[in-house]
Structure formats: C-alpha cells, structure tokens
C-alpha cells in the first residue's frame, strides 16, 4: 500500500517533466530500493517514510543537473566529479627548507610539552610517594623480626 502510493505520487510528479524512459528508470530504482529494504526486514511504511515526500524527490530529480538523467547516470556523474576534485587535492610536502624547519620545531615542541608534563606529574607525586615508600619499607623491615 505505502509503496504503491509513493510510486504513483512520484510518477505523477515526474510525468511531463522528463522523458518517459527517465520516469520509468527512476520509478524502477525506487521500487527496487523499497523491495530490497523490505527483504532486509523493514516495513514498507518505514522505508517510504525514510525516503520522504515523493514530490520533493521528483523536484530534486527534475532540477538536478541533467534532469533527464536516471539515478544511475547521475551517480556516475557524481563519481567522476569526485575523482576530478580528488586529483586537485594538494598535500603538504617537505619540499622547502622552512617546511622542514616547521616540522622539526613542531616535533621538538611536542617532545618538550610531553617532558614538561611528565616533570610536573613527578613533582606532584614524588613528595607523596617517598614518605609512603619509606613507611612501607619500615613496616616490612620490622614486621619480619
């Protein structure tokens, strides 16, 4: 019931706004999606509610670049755009002296920070630990005799 109503609303929203072939392919995509999710144990109602308003989906499909595209064609375009953007990513290299110096300074700073932290912890714990160890040693020493 939910699937049929969703698909008929989607068809109604898409018809006249894109080719019949694109309408059929988009409807087939959503029909298959709903069926697959139901096979996984979900109810039709859950899946259709998750998809949302079919009129909004139709508007998105129609207004998307290449509104005549099917879902699969749009997905292929998105993948190729992602790959194009990935090729333009600049990775910070150590190709100049100042980048190397900055890296060395960062490493020295981290080591200095860790050392300072450790010294601070030792300065807090040592005044408590020494008397405690001395008392434990005396108790153990006199307990044996």
Q: Which residues pair with 18 in a beta bridge?
A: 15
pLDDT in tens, 58-109: 888 888 765 555 555 555 655 555 554 545 555 667 778 888 899 999 999 9
Half-sphere exposure of 139 (CA within 13 A, CB side): 6
Averaged pLDDT score across all residues of the chain: 82
Q: Is the pLDDT higher at 93 or at 25?
A: 25
In the block, which residue shows the tokens 């700073």? 109
Neighbours of 44 (CB within 10 A): 17
At 36, list the tokens: 């697959």
CB 57 within 8 A of CB 51: yes
pLDDT in tens, 122-140: 999 989 989 999 999 999 8
CB 99 within 8 A of CB 92: yes
**pLDDT mean over 111-122:** 95
| Burial class (CB within 10 angstroms; exposed 0-12, middle 13-18, buried 19+) of 51 | middle
pLDDT band at 48 (very low <50, low <70, confident <90, very high): confident
**pLDDT mean over 41-57:** 87
In the block, which residue shows the tokens 């005549």? 68
């Amino acid at each position: 019931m939910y699937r049929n109503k969703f698909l008929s609303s989607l068809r109604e929203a898409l018809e006249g706004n894109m080719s019949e072939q694109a309408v059929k392919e988009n409807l087939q995509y959503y029909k298959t999606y709903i069926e697959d999710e139901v096979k996984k144990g979900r109810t039709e109602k859950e899946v259709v509610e998750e998809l949302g308003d079919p009129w909004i989906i139709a508007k998105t499909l129609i207004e998307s670049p290449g509104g005549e595209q099917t879902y699969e064609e749009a997905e292929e375009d998105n993948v190729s755009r992602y790959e194009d953007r990935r090729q333009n990513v600049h990775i910070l290299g150590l190709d100049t002296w100042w980048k190397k110096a900055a890296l060395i300074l960062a490493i020295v700073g981290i080591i200095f920070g860790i050392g300072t932290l450790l010294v601070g912890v030792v300065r807090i714990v040592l005044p408590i630990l020494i008397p405690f160890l001395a008392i434990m040693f005396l108790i153990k020493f006199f307990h044996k005799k």
